[in-house]
Amino acid sequence: MNDALNRRSQLPPVGAVIERDGPVVRTHYGTHGEVSHGPLPEGDLEALVFRQVEAFAQRTEPVVWPVYGDARLAEILVAAGFAAEPERAVLSCPIGTDTTALPVVGHDWAGHQRVAELAAKTGPHHRPFPEFLADAAHLRRSAEVVLDGDRAAWLEELGEFMVVGGVTDPGFATRLVAHDWRLAGPHRDVRFLLAEATGDLRAAFEAAGMRAITAVTRYHLPSPGEPARTRPVRRLLAEPEHHDIWARFSGEFAFRPGTRAFPGITEPPGSATWHVGDLDDPQLDALSDIVHKGLRESVEPGEELYWLDWHHVGYRFDPARVDGTGPRWPGAVFPDGDYHSYLTRDLRLGTFGHPWEETVCVFGDLLTRIDPELTAALGNPIRRSEP
């Protein structure tokens, strides 16, 4: 059972990095870190814990380490400087049979904001709602956000378990327990509901038919320095911010999508456009490396970039915190199937990739920095716009 409770996806959540050290899995979010694991070795457990402490300290991340009834591990964590939360019961039961539809929020931004308000007034929750929401793209269709008036809950599927991340009102417990989570296609393998709770919420879950199967205590270790407040990469889809950057880009550059609309924008003064449709793999790699390096050098310290993909998920990210030991650089320079753009928030520099013309336009101070390198790697641009 502990293995199932500790199991996490092999793919890292958005803006996170997953590392392994024997049985231990570290998830580095950039803002904090989490530990999960299966059975631990009998010997050298202190050394294993010390390595995890060092790994998170190098990234200046506070750590959360859940412990399921392992007294020896708990003792070692306390000796290493961890502090314990109050113990919480882990409860489970078979999923219910009620086929009444639950009010699922889906991608409704206003609904998410309302759930966030409710979540901030309650708790602590097994999985804080902001973290759950940040991982929604990673969880794909296995995540559910439910909002019924002033009651909310968020859940995620882990194998045969539907795991309750949080509940804002104990009165909602009965409905969650009674619901048949197999009604939605993605949850057809779910057999059990799983929750962590204490106090009134535990009583409500137990009254609804759940039973305690174990207990968990979360141990916290602060960061040795000031941790980052935001993840290196954040996903954008239904957020007003995503609509805003697209609207401003379309207005500023007269974006005109179409299979025969060449060029697809009014290319700004001082820009250059290269044909990239015939590039081989080494040239494509060179294109990405040159553009990424130029973007890092062109932005101010701490300034974030956008990567936009027409009609698809976009990202906002800190170019100084991706690649290397951080998460992968989001997006792509090459317009593989749709319009791709790297942009600063003020649109002063960036790229525009046209999938049907098979071109990449580079503009602003970015072009000033990388024009000679791109020309050496790709040949002369097919057109230039005079400053």
In a domain, 55, yes or no: yes
3-state secondary structure of 144: strand
3-state secondary structure of 40: coil
Q: Select from 187, 215, 243 the last residue of a domain.
A: 215
> Rounded CA gap, 97 and 143, in Å?
20
Residue 194 sits in a domain of what CATH number? 3.40.630.30
Task: Give the chain's largest Cα–Cα span.
Answer: 73
On average, the pLDDT of the chain sits at 93
Specify whether 303 is located in the same domain as 335: yes
Nearest alpha carbon to residue 186 among 131, 104, 91? 104
In a domain, 307, yes or no: yes
Q: What is the pTM of this model?
A: 0.90
In a domain, 67, yes or no: yes
Specify whether 77 is located in the same domain as 130: no
In a domain, 35, yes or no: yes
**359, 242 Cβ separation under 8 angstroms:** no
Mean predicted confidence (pLDDT) in 215-230 = 97
pLDDT value at residue 121: 96
Mean predicted confidence (pLDDT) in 182-190 = 85
For 210-260, the DSSP string reads -EEEEEEEEEEE--SS---SS-SEEEESSSHHHHHHHHHHHHHHT----TT
In a domain, 227, yes or no: no
Q: How confident is the model at residue 139 (pLDDT cuts 50, 70, 90)?
A: low
For the chain, percent helix, then strand, then coil, each to nearest 5?
Answer: 35, 25, 40
Task: Please state the domain count of the chain.
Answer: 3
Give the domain extent around 33: 2-86
Task: Work out the percent of the chain whose per-residue pLDDT is above 90.
Answer: 86
Specify whether 141 is located in the same domain as 116: yes
Taking phi first (over 0 means left), then psi (-120 to 50 degrees means alpha), and beta for anything else, what does residue 232 get? alpha
Specify whether 253 is located in the same domain as 352: yes
Specify whether 166 is located in the same domain as 304: no
Nearest alpha carbon to residue 15 among 167, 130, 145? 130
pLDDT value at residue 362: 98
